[in-house]
């Protein structure tokens, strides 16, 4: 859910340990023709009635606390539900969505959310790609970089936000001090400047998610056959040419999957910006989730906030489809 | 042997890039640690140094006095441990079924694992809030634990399914041939081989819950129930106005458990990521 996503912290993708790609376990039947990766391990007997006692302990919480709330949430979007109201909730059709259409504050937050999600995801991808290529080399400090990369990943988002408030602090923050030492002026109040707040929080978003993206891309890189590189080098291909013709094609499915997943997570993010700016100044960093949170739990507009959630789901679904395509491709390519 | 290999200037450029990355990665954290040990007058001085000139533990004392950090840490600990144990306990049997059987349920569960990662929490939190309210579990640690359980299930299932698949099916078949029933096989053959995976999954679920903020913010209203991340936000004022020393000290303290756990399971995580990233 969203967070195992979050950080959980975003973690969910922790996935499938013990299954190193490319190494077929001994003694297994040859994988089938179609999508070998997916069928592996699922070739067992059909589920007998006796297996239900294995399934129910997880299935019940999932149904009651995840699937049902999700459906309920979608249904709420078509009602006038409010918190703490005494009269019954009424079904009001698409009224919430019509209101959303004319709510300039919502569109502002939607636009900011897209800027944030695109900015963070793109920068994260570009930096992580460069880093992954770098860490794939025989460099001396590589182990250090890999070890320290865990730090942002392990930190609670709230702490990441507090830490960067210290860095951005106008009076004695690291950033302004560094600028001062470099003779680049006296700095400014980054998080409360109308023009600087959004770029400032985007940098923090990039920082927080960079390690995961790098590790994922690095894994993809190490999955490309070395022989191809050597063959290409022998044929006289330069670095760029080898990247385009050998590295990138092998990396593309991973890149697509991780990028679409990052985009989804970023569009849904909350804690980081809540702590950094609370959505300010003047709503310049009010991401959709912050806006929906305020509507729901400050103003009690449950139905309206649920409608916002539905709009986000619609957007996210597009990228979820992209992610699934990337995943299937990744399976096929192996 | 890889995408760009170089000598001399190219190599130097690579090291420069690596150092820049390390600086970007580490300096903010060092700044936080440094601030945590600086006395107030150093923090307020115009040009603070990296190393505290006059290191002190006052910030930690003040942080503990200003906010009920220990109680909050206790709440976080209870919620995270309970959620991690529950998650592993209920996810393991299902993961076993997902790894070993083929059925429509397998497809549905796998689909849920993927899709559940993408939904905006706001769509989930309002109904969850209403459900827990009806059960009189809003503003209780039990309610939070239930939410965290479901929240950590997708990745627990994902990790555990991978671990089960890594146990050779032949071992289970051999046990069956020797006359062991299914449960017996599970308990005495599969479970011991899964143990490291169970621990890694539980630790990961622990960190996830320890770091979680949004659900705790919405679901816990009374101060005595609040978890550490929620209480930490009480240190924040307007930009520049906050009491920086205690803020840094509290933030540093809250991070330590996650860092320790991550350090312990780092290899598993990056290894799992490596396998998972290609798959995922």
Using one digit for the tens of pLDDT, what is the confidence trace for B167-222? 888 888 888 888 877 778 878 888 888 888 899 899 989 998 999 999 999 999 89
Question: Which is higher by pLDDT, B267 or A42?
Answer: B267
Q: Which residues contact A57 (CB under 8 A, 6 or more apart)?
A: B89, B90, B93, B94
Q: Is A315 in CB contact (< 8 Å) with chain B?
A: no
Chain A positions in Cβ-Cβ contact with residue B122 (cut-off 8 Å)? 289, 292-293, 296, 305-306, 308-309, 312
Longest dimension (CA), chain A: 77
Q: Which pLDDT belongs to residue B2?
A: 45
Q: A91 has which bridge partners?
A: A79
Q: pLDDT for B106-162, tens place per residue? A: 778 878 887 887 778 888 899 999 989 889 999 999 999 999 998 889 888 888 888
Q: Which pLDDT belongs to residue A44?
A: 53
Q: Which pLDDT belongs to residue A280?
A: 79
Chain A positions in Cβ-Cβ contact with residue B206 (cut-off 8 Å)? none
Whole-angstrom CA distances from A297 to A279, B48, B89, B122, B133 are: 15, 40, 33, 10, 14
Crossing angle between the packed helical segments B9-36 and A197-222, to the nearest 10 degrees: 130
Q: Where are the domains of chain A?
A: 108-286
The CATH H-level (homologous superfamily) assignment of domain A108-286 is MetI-like (1.10.3720.10)
Helix or strand run (H / E) with residue B21: helix B9-36
Q: Which pLDDT belongs to residue A39?
A: 42
> Of B24, B269, B277, which is closest to A220 when you measure between CB atoms?
B277
> Of A162, A220, A242, which is closest to B251 when you measure between CB atoms?
A162
Rounded CA gap, A230 and B27, in Å? 38
Cβ–Cβ under 8 Å, residues B203 and B264 = yes
Query: How many residues can be counted in chain A?
Result: 334
Q: Which pLDDT belongs to residue A241?
A: 84
Q: Which pLDDT belongs to residue A32?
A: 41
Q: Which pLDDT belongs to residue A252?
A: 86
Q: Is the peptide bond before A281 cis (omega within 30 degrees of 0)?
A: yes
Q: Which pLDDT belongs to residue B88?
A: 94
Residues 28-87 of A with CB under 8 A from B: 37, 40-47, 50-51, 53-55, 57-59, 61-62, 64-70, 72-74, 76, 81
Q: Which pLDDT belongs to residue B149?
A: 92
Q: Which pLDDT belongs to residue A22?
A: 42
Of B133, B144, B104, nearest to B230 (Cα)? Answer: B144
Q: Which pLDDT belongs to residue A78?
A: 94
Q: Which residues contact A281 (CB under 8 A, 6 or more apart)?
A: A191, A192, A193, A194, A197
Rounded CA gap, A16 and A210, in Å? 21
Cβ–Cβ under 8 Å, residues B269 and A146 = no
Please identify which residue in the block is written with the tokens 């709503």: A283
Q: Which pLDDT belongs to residue A333?
A: 54
Please identify which residue in the block is written with the tokens 């995408």: B3
Q: A9 has which bridge partners?
A: A7
Q: Which pLDDT belongs to residue A290?
A: 94
Please identify which residue in the block is written with the tokens 């502002």: A108
Cβ–Cβ under 8 Å, residues A15 and B280 = yes
B79 pLDDT tier (thresholds 50, 70, 90): very high
User: Which residue numbers in chain A have pLDDT < 70?
Assistant: 1-50, 326-327, 329-334
Q: Which pLDDT belongs to residue A27?
A: 43
Contact B278/A219, CB-based, under 8 Å?
yes
Cβ–Cβ under 8 Å, residues A285 and A273 = yes
Chain A positions in Cβ-Cβ contact with residue B105 (cut-off 8 Å)? 47, 55
Query: Using a CB cutoff of 8 Å and minimum separation of 24, what contacts does A317-323 make?
Result: A317/B118, A319/A260, A319/A263, A319/A264, A319/A267, A319/B118, A320/A260, A320/A264, A320/B114, A320/B115, A320/B118, A322/A256, A322/A260, A323/A256, A323/A257, A323/A260, A323/A261, A323/A264, A323/B114, A323/B118
Nearest chain B Cα distance for residue A108, angstroms? 18
Contact B213/A157, CB-based, under 8 Å?
yes
Q: Which pLDDT belongs to residue A226?
A: 75
């Amino acid at each position: 859910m969203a967070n195992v996503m979050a950080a959980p912290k975003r973690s969910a993708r922790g996935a499938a340990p013990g299954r190193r790609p490319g190494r077929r376990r001994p003694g297994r039947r040859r994988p089938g023709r179609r999508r070998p990766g997916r069928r592996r391990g699922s070739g067992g007997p059909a589920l007998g009635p006796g297996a239900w006692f294995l399934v129910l302990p997880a299935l019940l919480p999932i149904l009651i606390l995840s699937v049902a709330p999700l459906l309920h949430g979608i249904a709420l979007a078509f009602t006038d539900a409010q918190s703490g109201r005494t009269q019954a909730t009424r079904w009001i059709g698409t009224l919430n969505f019509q209101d959303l259409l004319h709510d300039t504050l919502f569109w502002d937050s939607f636009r900011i959310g897209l800027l944030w999600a695109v900015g963070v995801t793109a920068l994260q991808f570009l930096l992580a790609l460069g880093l992954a290529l770098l860490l794939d080399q025989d460099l001396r400090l590589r182990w250090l970089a890999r070890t320290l990369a865990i730090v942002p990943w392990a930190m609670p988002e709230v702490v990441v936000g507090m830490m960067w408030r210290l860095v951005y602090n106008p009076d004695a923050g690291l950033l302004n001090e560094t600028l001062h030492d470099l003779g680049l002026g006296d700095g400014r109040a980054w998080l409360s400047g109308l023009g600087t707040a959004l770029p400032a929080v985007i940098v923090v978003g990039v920082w927080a998610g960079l390690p995961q993206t790098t590790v994922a891309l690095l894994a993809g890189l190490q999955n490309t056959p070395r022989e191809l590189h050597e063959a290409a080098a022998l044929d006289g291909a330069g670095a760029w040419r080898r990247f385009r013709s050998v590295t990138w094609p092998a990396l593309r499915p991973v890149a697509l999957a991780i990028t679409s997943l990052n985009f989804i997570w970023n569009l849904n993010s909350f804690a980081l910006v809540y702590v950094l700016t609370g959505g300010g100044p003047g709503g310049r960093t009010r991401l959709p989730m912050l806006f929906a949170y305020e509507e729901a739990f400050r103003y009690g507009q449950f139905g309206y906030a649920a409608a916002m959630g539905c709009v986000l789901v619609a957007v996210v679904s597009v990228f979820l489809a992209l992610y699934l395509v990337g995943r299937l491709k990744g399976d096929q390519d192996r | 042997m890889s995408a760009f290999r170089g000598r001399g200037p190219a190599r130097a450029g690579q090291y420069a890039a690596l150092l820049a990355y390390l600086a970007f990665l580490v300096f903010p954290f060092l700044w936080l640690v440094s601030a945590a040990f600086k006395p107030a007058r150093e923090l307020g001085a115009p040009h603070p140094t990296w190393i505290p000139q006059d290191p002190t533990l006052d910030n930690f004392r003040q942080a503990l006095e200003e906010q009920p950090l220990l109680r909050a840490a206790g709440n976080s600990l209870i919620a995270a441990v309970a959620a991690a144990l529950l998650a592993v306990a209920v996810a393991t049997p299902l993961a076993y079924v997902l790894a070993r059987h083929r059925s429509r349920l397998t497809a549905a569960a796998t689909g849920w694992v993927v899709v559940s990662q993408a939904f905006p929490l706001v769509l989930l939190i309002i109904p969850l809030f209403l459900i827990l309210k009806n059960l009189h579990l809003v503003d209780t640690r039990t309610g939070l634990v239930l939410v965290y359980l479901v929240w950590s299930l997708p990745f627990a299932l994902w990790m555990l399914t991978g671990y089960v698949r890594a146990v050779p099916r032949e071992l289970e078949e051999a046990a069956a041939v020797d006359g062991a029933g299914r449960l017996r096989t599970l308990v005495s053959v599969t479970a011991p081989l899964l143990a490291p995976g169970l621990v890694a999954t539980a630790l990961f679920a622990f960190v996830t819950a320890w770091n979680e903020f949004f659900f705790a913010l919405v679901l816990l209203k009374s101060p005595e129930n609040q978890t550490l991340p929620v209480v930490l936000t009480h240190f924040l004022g307007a930009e520049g106005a906050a009491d920086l020393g205690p803020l840094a000290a509290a933030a540093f303290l809250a991070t330590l458990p996650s860092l320790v756990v991550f350090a312990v399971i780092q290899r598993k995580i990056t290894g799992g990521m490596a396998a998972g990233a290609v798959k995922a």
